[in-house]
């Protein structure tokens, strides 16, 4: 990534995300007329064994044609036969029709970019999953419904068995993405199409595209990790990341609950509470000035508004917030954090070129994968830093976060331990304010 060419590190990071989403969509795809054959299944009256053999033959014929094209080697913008394109478009329009009433009946907010609620996305998910296809929302820690079909497809593919699977993804704006994966025993392809709502309430097909999957794996933890073929230098001047991840096997509900409660607002960008080693006897190295805004969001459920604090964050507010989540004193904070004694405030600085270099790891999401109740009443959470950008697999690192829950639903962070060689796998932390 050529972040030095950007005026702001935040703009760089946003650009990478937008470009990556574009690649995952506009250059995602697969297949051809085999889609029709696979959907027909046993409708021709043949036995399951005969149908399977027919489907495998169709898959092979289709991928053989793709491999003969000039675009096969580069792997993206592959040709799509008319029948497969028409089917993808028809499916998208049909699904949008099924969820139209939910979309029209939900509050979309007052911003220019309409957003629907988690509840509305879940309603849409219930409608779509009735057809038996895997479906997932864009909600954090979302569960893949009908995941058994996706898991069987991946396990069969690991055994070299040809097959296909249809997946629907519901976005925050109410749009849907239809993804059909096809495996021929050697290569995997993806046919992707996206349907959005127009300002007039109509349905617009944003794209239909076909891409070869460069590499993939289904991990023991239940993640489908795959890399799409993307443009590479010298065709493009900056590296495009084609790595994608899908949580297939559901997490335990308690793990999801604690991930949202204790981790989601923090993440791994702009603070080091989750990506450094510390405990109650060794808390000097924590970036208190950096973590404040994330704890603010966790406590208040709203975004920190820095314009309200042009001269820094008042000591009483800052110390109260930090002490609500960590076992530190006001005296320790004034020693370890960047404190302005003259104005009696703590310094806050927005992330930018001078104090943050965008990294793939910064986009990782913390996910609780294990819960241990200790004899002293504390709880240790085993956490994976899941990053769907870069080549991290299903965990950029794993760490153990120890917390103590209060009777009133609150909690305090007591320590964090990076396991094995995790610190060697991630970038060095940059303090927000020096």
Q: What is the pLDDT of residue 94?
A: 97
The maximal CA–CA distance of the chain, rounded, in angstroms, is 84
Cβ atoms within 10 Å, residue 401: 22
Report, as an integer, the average pLDDT of 300-319.
94
The pLDDT confidence band at residue 16, using thresholds 50, 70 and 90, is: very low
Asked whether the predicted pLDDT for residue 54 surpasses 80, the reply is: no
Q: What is the pLDDT of residue 111?
A: 66
Is residue 177 a contact partner of residue 146, using CB atoms and an 8 Å limit? no
Cα separation of the two ends of the chain: 25
Q: What is the pLDDT of residue 109?
A: 77
Asked whether the predicted pLDDT for residue 335 surpasses 70, the reply is: yes
Q: Kindly tell me the sign of the dihedral angle through the C-alpha atoms of 416, 421, 427, 428.
A: positive
Q: What is the pLDDT of residue 20?
A: 45
Asked whether the predicted pLDDT for residue 14 surpasses 50, the reply is: no
Report, as an integer, the average pLDDT of 16-40.
38
- Per-residue pLDDT reduced to its tens digit, 140-172: 999 999 999 999 999 999 999 999 999 999 999
Structure tokens at 303: 């975004």
Q: What is the pLDDT of residue 108?
A: 86
Q: Kindly report whether the global pTM for this prediction surpasses the value 0.75.
A: yes
Report, as an integer, the average pLDDT of 11-27.
41
Q: How far is CA 405 from the centre of its chain?
A: 28
Q: What is the DSSP string of 135-199?
A: EEESSTT---BTHHHHHHHHHHHHTT--EEEEEEEE-TTS-EEEEEEEE-SS-EEEEEEEEEE-T
Structure tokens at 301: 């459920």
Asked whether the predicted pLDDT for residue 39 surpasses 80, the reply is: no
List the single range of 66-80, 331-345, 357-371 with lowest mean pLDDT.
66-80
Q: How far apart are CA 225 and CA 247, in angstroms?
A: 9
Q: What is the pLDDT of residue 43?
A: 37
Asked whether the predicted pLDDT for residue 53 surpasses 60, the reply is: no
Give how far Cα 261 sits from Cα of 16, 26, 39, 299, 373, Å: 28, 35, 42, 10, 17
- Per-residue pLDDT reduced to its tens digit, 392-434: 778 999 999 999 999 888 999 999 999 998 888 899 999 989 8
């Amino acid at each position: 990534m050529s972040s030095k060419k950007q005026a702001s590190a935040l703009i760089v990071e946003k650009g990478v995300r937008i470009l990556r989403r574009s690649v995952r969509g506009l250059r995602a795809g697969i297949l051809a007329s085999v889609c029709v054959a696979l959907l027909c299944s046993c409708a021709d009256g043949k036995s399951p064994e005969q149908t399977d053999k027919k489907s495998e033959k169709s898959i092979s014929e289709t991928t053989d044609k793709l491999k003969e094209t000039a675009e096969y080697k580069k792997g993206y913008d592959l040709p799509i036969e008319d029948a497969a394109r028409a089917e993808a478009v028809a499916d998208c329009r049909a699904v949008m029709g099924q969820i139209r009433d939910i979309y029209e009946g939900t509050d979309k907010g007052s911003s220019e970019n309409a957003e629907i609620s988690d509840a509305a996305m879940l309603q849409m998910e219930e409608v779509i999953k009735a057809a038996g296809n895997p479906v997932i929302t864009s909600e954090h820690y979302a569960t893949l419904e009908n995941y058994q079909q996706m898991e069987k497809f991946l396990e069969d593919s690991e055994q070299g068995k040809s097959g296909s699977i249809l997946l629907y993804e519901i976005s925050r704006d109410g749009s849907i993405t239809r993804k059909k994966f096809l495996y021929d025993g050697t290569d995997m392809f993806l046919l992707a199409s996206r349907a959005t709502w127009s300002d007039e309430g109509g349905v617009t097909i944003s794209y239909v595209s076909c891409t070869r999957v460069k590499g993939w794996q289904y991990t023991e933890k239940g993640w489908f990790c795959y890399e799409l073929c993307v443009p590479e230098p010298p065709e493009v001047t900056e590296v495009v990341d084609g790595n994608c991840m899908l949580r297939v096997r559901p997490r335990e509900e308690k793990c999801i609950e604690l991930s949202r409660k204790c981790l989601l607002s923090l993440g791994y960008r702009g603070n080091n509470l989750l990506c450094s080693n510390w405990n109650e006897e060794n808390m000097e190295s924590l970036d208190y000035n950096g973590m404040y805004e994330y704890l603010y969001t966790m406590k208040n459920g709203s975004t920190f508004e820095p314009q309200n604090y042009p001269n820094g964050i008042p000591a009483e507010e800052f110390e109260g917030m930090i002490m609500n989540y960590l076992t530190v004193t006001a005296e320790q904070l004034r020693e370890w954090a960047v404190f302005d004694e003259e104005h009696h405030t703590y310094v806050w600085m927005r992330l930018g070129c001078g104090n943050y270099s965008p990294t793939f790891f910064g986009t990782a999401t913390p996910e609780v994968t294990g819960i241990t109740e200790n004899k002293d009443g504390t709880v240790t959470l085993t956490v994976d830093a899941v990053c769907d950008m870069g080549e991290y697999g299903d965990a950029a690192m794993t760490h153990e976060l120890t917390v103590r829950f209060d009777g009133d639903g609150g909690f305090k962070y007591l320590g964090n331990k990076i396991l094995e060689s995790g610190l060697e796998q991630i970038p060095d932390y940059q303090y927000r304010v020096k």
